[in-house]
């Protein structure tokens, strides 16, 4: 059966006893995913670069009755090896394992023809969107392998599957993200503990979307909380056995 987010009804305790790290958890899709995971029973580790935003999400999770989350500040543009090891040690000390990792943080860069693309912007976008996600994953692999069943989700985009003029480093970084997920999915499939998949959120009402489409009426796009079915499905046991897939969070409803 093909997964259809419009028909998916996750159990309220879908992620009970699961420890899940979300990057870019302070705003946009990452905030919505952190809240959705907590609402379905997960203990969430909130990672991001602005502590005050993470603290707001922390408070929201407690207000909705979720497990007490952790805060793990990390600026992916600047993080070095010791910062990832510190994150690993924090998770090791608090939980001893990691059951889920949502790589959600991302930057848009500029919308410029490749001929004129600024190379320092290129390097920053590729670093935050791809290299930092791999660096974090590498360091956290031992903790993911401590899980009975771990799910890694990378965040892709429509322009990571079909190139589009002027999307520059962002588009190329999302192609790389899809490739990274596929390679890691194959490498981990033998042991059968870690699954690796991608989600393409589709156009969603966030700061990044407004930045990319300033003339668009934001009300024409769904809110991040409206697209959480796929995020829950791939993070939880309902998708057991699925690895190396790339799913769309939004499916057009057939009338
Ligand atoms: P937002 O810009 O609203 O959120 C991006 C998140 O990434 C923020 O939490 C931001 O933190 C974090 N982030 C950015 N740079 C860094 C950094 N250096 N270190 C740590 N965290 C960082 O965008 P969205 O919520 O829309 O995007 C979430 C993901 O979804 C991205 O990967 C994006 O590419 C992807 N996506 C979004 C689509 C959309 O239409 N919205 C469509 C397709 C894909 P801070 O709050 O501090 O800025």
Q: What is the CATH number of the domain that holds 160?
A: 3.40.50.720
Cα torsion 89, 90, 94, 99: sign: negative
Q: How many domains does the chain have?
A: 1
Binned at pLDDT 50, 70 and 90, residue 144 comes out as: very high
Average confidence score pLDDT of the chain = 96
Q: What is the tens place of the pLDDT at every residue in 61-110? A: 999 999 999 999 999 999 999 999 999 999 999 999 999 999 999 999 99
95 is catalytic: no
Residue 6 lies in a domain: no
Q: Which residues contact 26 (CB under 8 A, 6 or more apart)?
A: 46, 48, 49, 50, 53, 54, 56, 57
Going from the Cα of 176 to the center of ligand 1, the distance in angstroms, rounded, reads: 17
Q: Is residue 122 part of a domain?
A: yes
Would you say the C-alpha torsion 153, 6, 206, 72 has a positive or negative sign? negative
Does the beta carbon of 24 sit less than 6 angstroms from any atom of ligand 1?
yes
Report field, pTM of the whole predicted structure over 0.85: yes
**What does the pLDDT read at residue 251?**
76
Which 8-state DSSP code applies to residue 116? G
Residue at 63 is within a domain: yes
Pocket test of ligand 1: the residue of 206, 212, 217, 219 to mutate, having most ligand atoms within 8 Å of its CB, is: 206
Q: Is the pLDDT of residue 255 over 90?
A: no
Q: Which domain holds residue 103?
A: 15-248
Ligand 1 pocket residue status of 108, Cβ below 6 Å: no
In tens, the pLDDT along 115-133 reads 999 999 999 999 999 999 9
Q: Considering the domain boundaries, does residue 255 fall inside one?
A: no
Instruction: State pLDDT tens for residues 26-39.
Output: 999 999 999 999 99
Pocket test for ligand 1, best of 106, 128, 221 (most atoms within 8 A of CB): 106
The predicted structure's pLDDT at residue 253: 61
pLDDT at position 24, please? 98
Among residues 170, 213, 231, 233, the one annotated as catalytic is 170
In the chain, where does DSSP find H-type helix?
A: 28-39, 51-63, 81-94, 119-126, 132-144, 168-189, 207-212, 228-235
The answer to whether residue 254 scores a pLDDT higher than 60 is: no
Q: Would residue 10 count as lying in a domain?
A: no
């Amino acid at each position: 059966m093909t997964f259809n987010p419009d028909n998916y009804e996750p159990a309220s305790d879908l992620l009970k006893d699961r420890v899940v790290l979300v990057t870019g958890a302070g705003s946009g899709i990452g905030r919505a995913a952190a809240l959705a995971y907590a609402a379905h029973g997960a203990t969430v580790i909130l990672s991001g670069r602005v502590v005050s935003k993470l603290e707001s999400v922390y408070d929201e999770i407690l207000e909705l009755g979720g497990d007490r989350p952790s805060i793990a500040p990390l600026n992916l543009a600047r993080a070095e090896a010791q910062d990832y090891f510190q994150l690993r040690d924090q998770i090791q000390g608090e939980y001893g394992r990691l059951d889920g990792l949502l790589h959600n943080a991302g930057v848009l860069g500029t919308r410029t023809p490749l001929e004129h693309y600024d190379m320092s912007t290129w390097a920053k976008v590729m670093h935050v969107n791809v290299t930092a996600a791999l660096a974090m994953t590498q360091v956290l692999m031992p903790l993911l392998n401590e899980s009975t069943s771990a799910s890694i989700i990378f965040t892709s985009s429509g322009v990571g599957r079909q190139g589009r003029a002027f999307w520059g480093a962002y588009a190329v970084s999302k192609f790389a993200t899809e490739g990274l997920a596929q390679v890691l999915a194959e490498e981990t499939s033998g042991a059968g503990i870690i699954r690796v998949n991608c989600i393409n959120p589709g156009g969603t009402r966030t700061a990044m979307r407004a930045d990319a489409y300033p003339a668009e009426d934001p009300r024409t796009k769904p809110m991040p909380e409206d697209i959480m079915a796929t995020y829950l499905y791939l993070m939880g046991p309902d998708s057991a056995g699925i690895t190396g897939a790339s799913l769309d969070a939004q499916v057009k409803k057939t009338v």
